[in-house]
Amino acid sequence: MKNLFLPLFLLLVLTSCDRTSVSTHDNLEVKQEFARWFTIEKKDSLTLITVRNPFDTIQPSARLLLYPRQSNPPRGFEEYTAVPVPLQRISCTSSTAITFAGKCGHIDAVVSVSDANFVFNKTIKSRLVSGDVTEVAQGTEIWYEKLSQSAPEAIFVSMFDGQELDRIRDLGIIVIPFADYLETTPLGRAEWLKFMGAFFDEGEKTSRLFDTIVSQYQEIASLAKNANEHPAIFDGLPIEGSWYVSGGQSYMATMYRDAGASYIWAGEQGAASNVMAYEKVFAGAAETPWWRMVVNIPGTLTKEKLLAMDERYGLFKAVKTGGVIWSNAATIPLFEEGVAEPHLVLSDLVCYLHPTLLPGYKPRYYFRLDR
Amino acid sequence: MNQTSKKAALSTSELTIGYHQGRQKISVQQQINVTLQHGELVALIGPNGSGKSTLLRTLAGFQPPLSGDFQLLGRGVKTYTRNEWARTISIVLTEMPGADKLTVSDLVASGRSPYTGFSGRLSGTDRRAISLAMTSTGIASMHNHYLNRLSDGERQRALIAKSLAQDTPIIMLDEPAAFLDFPGRIRIMHLLRQLAHNQQKAIMITTHDIGLALQYSDRLWLVSQDKPLLEGIPEALALNGNLQQYFTGQQVDFDVNSGKFLLDVPPLNNVSVEAPVPLLFWLTHALNRHQINVTSTTQTPFHIVATHSGHVISFFKKEKLIKTWTDESDFFEHFSAGLFNMP
Amino acid sequence: MNVKHHTLKRPAVRITLLISGVMLTLVLLLINLMVGSVDISLPQLLNNLTGLEPADTTIVAILFKFRLPQAITALVAGAGLSVAGLMMQSLFRNPLADPSILGISSGASLGVALLILGAGAGSGTAFLTSGILGDLTVTIAALAGAILVMMVIIVFARTIQSHSNLLILGIMVGYITFSAVGILKYYSPREALQRFVIWGLGSFGEVSQSRLGLFVLLTTIGLAASFLLSKTLNLMLLGEHYAQNLGLNIRRARLFIILISGFLTAVITAYCGPVAFLGLAVPHLTRNLFQTSSHQLLLPASALLGGILALLCNLAARLPVFNGTLPISAVTALIGAPVVIWLIFKGNK
């Protein structure tokens, strides 16, 4: 023991030279149970985050080194981008990032966003009006001057590559890829809460929040699993004759399974959506009792409006028997907020598919079309 | 000269033609008063830029006159409907329908358009007119050939056949001889004369080929940039000096004796020629080419005499024999103007 | 000089071709009804069509709600576009002319772009699937855009004498709308962009059963009107001077040709989106096949051949090999261009 004292002391002294603050965590390994596209490792007061690249299996899209902002950026991590945390000013071109920032309790950190017209978050909307938050991008176009003026420390983007990102880095803004949408499971997407939490030093809070979500989700899923029937369901809507349906290994396919439904194309490949001829969809789904769709219209979806879009929708059994579950991208924040509340989204589906399981539950994201 | 005794096919009255350049009116010919008679072939000749095309376009109805008027078949043009006009004047231009699979009979049949009504269906009368037109122009055997496979002359005849099928009393042709070879030109002019005389058509052509015009037309209309339009019978215009006048200032002289156009340069020398016809004509021809003028005996000390059989041609200066050639070929090959300077 | 003397044979050849054409159309129609993501055999087809035996409702629905409207749309659109293209080629005496040359289908594009892309960029809601009027709004927007451009062109046609100037004007209008659409695209969210791009590639499947009647009626009116112009078009082929000398009112003729061709183009583009290539290639194929310039024959023959080609392309686009339905403009050129190239080489001998 005595012989070890000096080397241990020296080790402590030597290693403490690089750190000016005392570590607050002891080597907490943040395990991602569901998310596959990011990993978090903790090294004392440092957090190392890797975001995988969907186009490159070897080179990750980002390696981020989060360090306490009062200290100096640590040396010895050349491949990593240093990020001082907690972040105080962020820009979000990913709308889900806004929601996650809010769940972390740091909505005030958001200084600029993209596509102001499509933002649902009430705080951000009012701040857009007052000018405290600025719009710095629209569609595929980023306005670099405005972005620079909004002076964020980092930007959460939903793309991975390209000259646009380099130009942003040239402005001195840290680029953080926010790849929640690549996750093929609802819990995997929600787990990005912890990703966001790391940047605000809210690791504990977000872990707890996520654990709650997981347990609630799994409880409902297990209820649904044990239901007597697993009704058949399909989804999608045609664009000019070609129908985009959820792939067999997609986010929605997982959710259908967890909701105790039988997705008719669960056997098809695809982690996102597949193109299918209208005719083929009709042949397969004409007798399917449930149809989940997301429209984009002003106001509420009614049967008249649906049939006005295409009279052939009336041929589907789901439409005839009141089995259409719909959401509206224009008026309901299904994508923006639902990603952080998969247990609620799941509950919405379950309360229609298995009416007796969740008595008194009021759906928020999905509605049922009248007969 | 308005001939009111015989009803003219076309007669103009103080017709001024030209074009608009912005707001300005530029007139090319002023106050033209001419007539075109049935059964007559008229050639409109003149140098480039004198207004030939403008006159033809105006008379064909493609552009309005700047002032004045003209009458067709005794009626003012303004009273004519489009269809009536189509039955009165037909045109043959240098442009060719570029359509790909057009046959000769398609083209000639289109001449019946003023008569076939809305659907364009051909009646028995129409078919007879088409057949007759093709026979008159000698192209009946080619009726189902494609236009773009014909020779220039055949195409020209097809266009004329179309005009014939159109059955108009007046036909106007713009440079009909332009793309034809020499025999072709003769044939076309001959055909036009026949049409004028045998079918009593009133035909007007524009042409650069004055020789052809002089030879075949009943009447000439002369235009020039700064002179008023002059009309007359070719021979009369030649003899009264009008033809010559029209070309003064252009370094070209009309020689009334030979009916030829010569460059307006002074001759190197003069000589008198005595020889039998046709040798006389060709000796003169060769001497003119060498810029030697042929004149009467009294006006020159130089004489050329050919024997009656045509052999032995002798050259005299003041009765003194200077040179002889054994026959005309020898002369033509070895004659030179330098002879005149020998002592 | 290789002159074919089909003096007596030619009319017989042409009649044979026409009859074969009609039969081929029927055959292709049947095949289009049988082939797709669900195979329907001939006996099945006949049963369900005639309702002899108790029918499979799914198959009946597929036949009457999907395949039949699509096949008829293809047939009618192919006929209409070919005739419109022929009229443009004859009016301008230009073998490269096609229905879109006066910018009318670009105008339709602009109308739809303003609806799908512009509405999204301007207000807060992108019209991915529209409200009360549904898909009809796209048709109306396309028609409005096309008619607007057509009126502009007609006004120009009254004052501009030269044909080539009119052509250039039409091309310029096309470019202006192209740029406007490009700008709109740039500012649009991805979903709206996707929908617009897919619309822009054309589709025969967007005319539902209830709207088919009006579409067929309008196109038939356009076709009938064009047949009435046979003599006029024959005269236009001779060139303006000869045509005028033969009694044609050039100004009025031009106006009618542009009007009827434009009407056909506008209607078809409104219901099917821009369908490329048919209007350009079919007149050439027809001229080559029937060896004539006479519009009394060319107009109906082009309509027939256009319908056949469109049915063929419709079939190809819907082969089960492709999971979806390929956009029609992609297929028309792929099938049609080699045919035209073959024809050129055949005629080169």
Q: Is there a contact between B114 and C3 if contact means CB atoms under 8 Å apart?
A: no
Under 8 Å between Cβ of A207 and A197: yes
Kindly list the residues from chain A whose CB atom is less than 8 angstroms away from the CB atom of residue C206.
Answer: 240-241
Please give the Cα distance from C66 to C55 (Å, whole number).
Answer: 16
Q: Is there a contact between B62 and C241 if contact means CB atoms under 8 Å apart?
A: yes
CB < 8 Å from A in window 203-222 of C: 203, 205-206, 208-210
Q: Find the length of chain C.
A: 349
Shortest CB distance from C231 goes to which of B83, B99, B120? B120
Nearest-neighbour CA in chain C from A96: distance (Å): 16
pTM of the model: 0.82
Shortest CB distance from A277 goes to which of C195, C273, C318? C318
The CATH 3.40.50.1980 portion of chain A extends over 20-211, 226-368
For residue A313, the chain C residue with the least C-alpha distance is C65
Nearest-neighbour CA in chain A from C104: distance (Å): 21
Q: Is there a contact between A280 and C37 if contact means CB atoms under 8 Å apart?
A: yes
Q: Is there a contact between C93 and B120 if contact means CB atoms under 8 Å apart?
A: no
Nearest alpha-carbon partner for C85 in C345, C332, C341, C342: C332
A291, β-bridge pairs: A234, A324
Kindly list the residues from chain A whose CB atom is less than 8 angstroms away from the CB atom of residue C203.
Answer: 240-241
Nearest-neighbour CA in chain B from C218: distance (Å): 23
Mean pLDDT of C245-270: 93
Higher pLDDT, A151 or A56: A151
Please give the Cα distance from A88 to A152 (Å, whole number).
Answer: 8
Tens-place pLDDT, residues C146-186: 999 999 888 888 887 777 888 888 888 889 988 998 888 87
Please give the Cα distance from C327 to C334 (Å, whole number).
Answer: 12
pLDDT for the residue C126: 41
3-state secondary structure of A114: strand
Is beta strand B320-325 parallel, antiparallel or unpaired with respect to B10-21? unpaired
Under 8 Å between Cβ of A326 and A366: yes
Nearest-neighbour CA in chain C from B34: distance (Å): 22
Under 8 Å between Cβ of B5 and B74: no
For residue C10, the chain B residue with the least C-alpha distance is B144
Q: Is there a contact between C242 and B97 if contact means CB atoms under 8 Å apart?
A: yes
Using a CB–CB cutoff of 8 Å, tell me whether A272 touches chain C.
no
Q: Is the pLDDT of residue A28 over 60?
A: no
Q: Is the pLDDT of residue A160 over 80?
A: no
Please give the Cα distance from B170 to B60 (Å, whole number).
Answer: 10
pLDDT band at A324, cuts 50/70/90? very high
Q: Is there a contact between A311 and C198 if contact means CB atoms under 8 Å apart?
A: no
pLDDT for the residue C55: 64
Using a CB–CB cutoff of 8 Å, tell me whether A269 touches chain C.
no
Nearby residues of B14 by Cβ (< 8 Å), 6 or more positions away: B31, B32, B33, B67, B68, B69
Mean pLDDT of C12-34: 91
Mean pLDDT of C1-17: 62
C130 in any annotated domain: yes
Mean pLDDT of C88-106: 89
Query: Mean pLDDT score of chain A, rounded to an integer?
Result: 87
Considering only CB atoms, which residues of chain B are within 8 Å of chain C?
Answer: 60-62, 82-83, 85-87, 89-91, 93, 95, 97-102, 106-107, 110-111, 113-114, 116, 118-120, 144-146, 149, 166
B vs A contact (3+ beta-carbon pairs below 8 A): no
Kindly list the residues from chain C whose CB atom is less than 8 angstroms away from the CB atom of residue A288.
Answer: none
CB < 8 Å from B in window 278-337 of C: 287, 291-294, 296
Q: Residue A203: in which H helix or E strand, if any?
A: helix A203-225
Q: Is the dihedral of CA A51, A52, A55, A57 positive or negative?
A: positive
pLDDT band at A31, cuts 50/70/90? low
C142 in any annotated domain: yes
Q: Is there a contact between C231 and B118 if contact means CB atoms under 8 Å apart?
A: yes
Q: Which residue segment(s) compose the domain that C304 sits in?
A: 11-348
Q: Is there a contact between A308 and C134 if contact means CB atoms under 8 Å apart?
A: yes
For A229, list phi and psi in degrees, rounded to 5. Answer: -120, 150
Kindly list the residues from chain C whose CB atom is less than 8 angstroms away from the CB atom of residue A296.
Answer: 125-129, 191
CATH of the domain at C52: 1.10.3470.10
Q: How many CA atoms, within 13 angstroms, populate the side-chain half-sphere of residue A220?
A: 30
Using a CB–CB cutoff of 8 Å, tell me whether C8 touches chain B.
no
Nearest-neighbour CA in chain B from C153: distance (Å): 24
Nearest alpha-carbon partner for B108 in B88, B95, B90: B90
DSSP classification of residue A66: E
CATH superfamily for domain A20-211: Nitrogenase molybdenum iron protein domain (3.40.50.1980)
Number of domains in chain C: 1
Please give the Cα distance from A56 to A177 (Å, whole number).
Answer: 14
pLDDT for the residue C209: 85
**Predicted ipTM?**
0.84
Tens-place pLDDT, residues C202-222: 889 888 888 899 999 999 999
Using a CB–CB cutoff of 8 Å, tell me whether C37 touches chain A.
yes
First to last CA, chain B: 57
C3 in any annotated domain: no
Under 8 Å between Cβ of B10 and B170: yes
Q: Please state, in angstroms and as integers, the Cα–Cα distance from residue B33 to each residue in A46, B50, B214, B231, following that order.
A: 108, 16, 21, 9
pLDDT for the residue C125: 40
First to last CA, chain A: 80
Please give the Cα distance from C214 to C219 (Å, whole number).
Answer: 9
Nearest-neighbour CA in chain B from C212: distance (Å): 31
Under 8 Å between Cβ of B132 and B164: yes
Mean pLDDT of A80-92: 93
For residue C228, the chain B residue with the least C-alpha distance is B119
Tens-place pLDDT, residues A225-266: 999 999 999 999 988 777 889 999 999 999 999 999 999 999
Using a CB–CB cutoff of 8 Å, tell me whether C2 touches chain A.
no
The structure tokens listed for C99 are: 């229905």
Under 8 Å between Cβ of A179 and A153: no
Which chains are within 8 Å of B by 3+ CB pairs? C
Shortest CB distance from C325 goes to which of A138, A241, A286? A241
First to last CA, chain C: 11
The CATH code of the domain at A226-368 is 3.40.50.1980
pLDDT for the residue A161: 64
Select from C64, C129, C186, C187 the residue whose CB has the most chain A CBs within 10 Å, as the one to mutate to test that interface.
C129
Sites in chain B below the pLDDT cut of 50: 1-5
Q: Residue C305: in which H helix or E strand, if any?
A: helix C295-317
Kindly list the residues from chain B whose CB atom is less than 8 angstroms away from the CB atom of residue C235.
Answer: 110, 113
Query: Mean pLDDT score of chain C, rounded to an integer?
Result: 85
Highest-confidence segment of A304-308, B328-332, C8-12? A304-308
Shortest CB distance from B149 goes to which of C3, C237, C241? C3
Kindly list the residues from chain C whose CB atom is less than 8 angstroms away from the CB atom of residue A298.
Answer: 125, 131
